[in-house]
Amino acid sequence: MPRDHAEVLPMRRRLSLSGEIPPASVVAKFDGIGLIRSEYVLRAEGHFITTAHAQRVLADYLTTVMAVCPEAPVWYRTSEMTSQEANTLVEVDARYQEADFMKGRRGIRRALELPGAFETELRVVAEVARDHPNLHLLTPFVRDAADFGFAVDMLDKVGWPNRFGSMVEIPSLLLDLPDLLAMGASNLMLGLNDLSSLLTGTSREFTAMDMKTHPSVWWTVGRVREQVGMACEWGVAGNLSKAVLERAERAGVPYASEHYSELPALRGLDPDDLPDLDFVSRTKAFTREQIALDQKRAWRSRLSESASGVTG
């Protein structure tokens, strides 16, 4: 019998954070914090993880979050920003110009090329995690078992003390889920923003319809359910509408992680009770400004080099 028509347990709800500091009373409404999108913390500061400032801010942020969620699970996702976004940050480890930056050097893919910054980030988070056994870690934009194996080796190198798992955003990872479990993954989170885009060949900026409702997405959910079962926990995250949440519950998804900024629409919470509600929108606007300035500087540099070549 298809799972949609079978009796299912109520879906647990978790909270996704992107640099906000939620009140403990809001956190208490959820089954823990399912996702911390760490790149927003760095982007808001304008600093890459290589700077002492970024390391201090990230550690302080995590410590504050753990104070408002001292017992329930908190899942930190290592930074996943595009090269276009990373290029704007102070002391970025390398600058890349990519024609298709959304499918470029993001997450583990960037870490494979530049492991130093990834190791630095892991050490910062591990230091906090040693004092908080409920702080766990997710790896983003993982293509296959080899990518995940690299991340596991780095976690071993820094002495990671708690649980770890992976985002499931790239469809190719579906082929290797049993291998991830064998390597110790205890949580698999389907990132529906990227997953729906890559499954349907649709830009994430395309808003004419919600591609998260496409049948291919729920076929993928079914595949994860078949391969994982009760072997580890799994769930979904992203910009989730009420329709997607209802579809996830019918499909027997164990948990869904809802963005803090969307709680008024999803939960009917009073915006006045949600400090930092505009943190994501403000950070996105700041990043867009910085990208425009970076591109202008690059254009001026090319123009100057071209003029030098002509006069020379």
Asked whether residue 103 is domain-assigned, the answer is yes
Which of 225, 221, 223 lies closest to 240, judged by CA? 221
Residue ranges making up the domain that contains 97:
9-301
Task: Give the pLDDT confidence of 119-155 residue by residue, as tens digits.
Answer: 999 999 999 999 999 999 999 999 999 999 999 999 9
At residue 100, does pLDDT exceed 80? Answer: yes
Q: What is the mean pLDDT of the chain?
A: 93
Task: Tell the burial category of 21 from Cβ atoms under 10 Å away from its Cβ (0-12, 13-18, 19+).
Answer: middle
Cβ pair 133, 162 in contact under 8 A: yes
Asked whether residue 1 is domain-assigned, the answer is no
Asked whether residue 3 is domain-assigned, the answer is no
Asked whether residue 293 is domain-assigned, the answer is yes
Cβ pair 40, 17 in contact under 8 A: no
Asked whether residue 310 is domain-assigned, the answer is no
Alpha-carbon distance values, 116 to 93, 242, 298 (Å): 9, 40, 26
Residue 179 confidence (pLDDT): 98
Average pLDDT of span 94-102? 90
Asked whether residue 18 is domain-assigned, the answer is yes
φ, ψ for residue 300 (rounded to 5)?
-65, -40
Residue 205 confidence (pLDDT): 74
Task: State percent of the chain over pLDDT 90.
Answer: 85
At residue 87, does pLDDT exceed 90? Answer: yes
Task: State percent of the chain over pLDDT 70.
Answer: 95
d(CA 101, CA 113): 15
Asked whether residue 131 is domain-assigned, the answer is yes
- State the CATH number of the domain containing residue 177: 3.20.20.60
Average pLDDT of span 189-202? 95
At residue 3, does pLDDT exceed 70? Answer: no
Buried b (16+ CB within 10 A) or exposed e, 268-293: ebeeeebebbebbeebeeebeebeee
Task: Give the pLDDT confidence of 33-65 residue by residue, as tens digits.
Answer: 999 999 999 999 999 999 999 999 999 999 999
DSSP 9: P
pLDDT band at 302 (very low <50, low <70, confident <90, very high): confident
φ, ψ for residue 199 (rounded to 5)?
-70, -35
Asked whether residue 66 is domain-assigned, the answer is yes
Q: What is the domain count for the chain?
A: 1
Pseudo-torsion of CA 19, 20, 25, 30, nearest 10°?
-50
Average pLDDT of span 225-250? 95
At residue 263, does pLDDT exceed 70? Answer: yes
Q: Which residue has the higher pLDDT, 203 or 305?
A: 203
